[in-house]
Structure 1
Amino acid sequence: MPYESLRTYINQYSGSELTDEEFARILEACTPRKYRKKQYLLQAGEVCKYVAFVISGAFRMYSVDDKGVEHILHLSIENWWVADRESALMLTPSRYNIDAVEDSEVLLFTSEKMQDLVATVPAMPKMMARLDQRNFIASQKRLHASISLTAEERYLELLNNNPVFLQRFPQNMIASYLGVTPETLSRIRKKALQK
């Protein structure tokens, strides 16, 4: 069956095994879509219509300030979800852009389809609850890091927790994600390599 990575993900995060019938229902509820590098999944000002499961590729979610500086909030790779959840849930215009950093393939779910799956496939609410817990913890850690850790400590935390990001995303995006300039990141990396 195609998209086994989604099935594995749901099984893992729900703690149960999807039947073939349940997984077929999930696949019927989504739309496969390919994005070229730099193509938008969401642009600031639009209402986020989809929650996307990344099959292959990479995405970034970011805002752009008045001076044209990008501020990356999230980075997503295979087997991650990407969406502006606030916009999708509240049906408000997003303040974020989401675009592909690499040629990518996703499975798109509308909020309505996702709610229907949560109501009809027992594994889905379990997976969503686990996802919400993980998102809350990740957001709390990211907030703590941004207000409490030095730039070097934030870099080392990223290196320990998500080393693949450092290979998949350009250095200017890593710098934006860490809230530092590319020059500062370059100095931090050089210092870390010397250790």
Structure 2
Amino acid sequence: MQLRPVGRSAVLAEVAHAVEALDLATWARSAGVGAAEVVPAAQTVLFDGVPDVAALTALLREWTATGVPPGGERVEVPVVYDGPDLASVADLWGTDVAGVVARHSEIEYVAAFCGFAPGFSYLSGLPGELAVPRLDSPRPRVAPGSVGLAGSWCGVYPTASPGGWRLLGRTEATLWDPARDRPALLAPGTRVVFVPR
């Protein structure tokens, strides 16, 4: 882990991958770190609003990576598998559409971090051999609720936006609702299972 000061009151921790970032963020919160915000990302954790950078740095040096994603709440997301990229993903995976649905829905994903748009969670857990490239040219509009893959990430679009992920299907689950106690349905650490409908 590399620690870098960011301005006067923030520290950026650089780690090997998203599982380590989520592990560090979870550990830091449970250890009661002195930071107003702890924000995991793909290979970093930002500690912002830090009153004592030296004390935080010393505490973070006590962390040891477990290599296991933290176990959070489990959320089932119903999906209608009718996406425009099902056939191309089937070709990439060397199977048919039913095989894509079976493989995608049997994995338990973990929300590693949020980004891109409010409520958009990058879900880890797709094996490396099933990683798929983004589209060569992004779509100008992806409908809200679209479930897609890019690289080894899975994600669900919370709102309409442009996007280059390969779309497998759609859900009617509300991914982002500012009126909820926890606005993001799939907050970091959430375990996610897709249920075919």
Q: Say yes or no: TM over 0.5.
A: no
Query: How high is the TM-score relative to the length of structure 1?
Result: 0.22
State the TM-score, normalizing by the size of structure 2: 0.22
Q: Which of the two has greater helix per residue?
A: 1
Higher strand share: 2
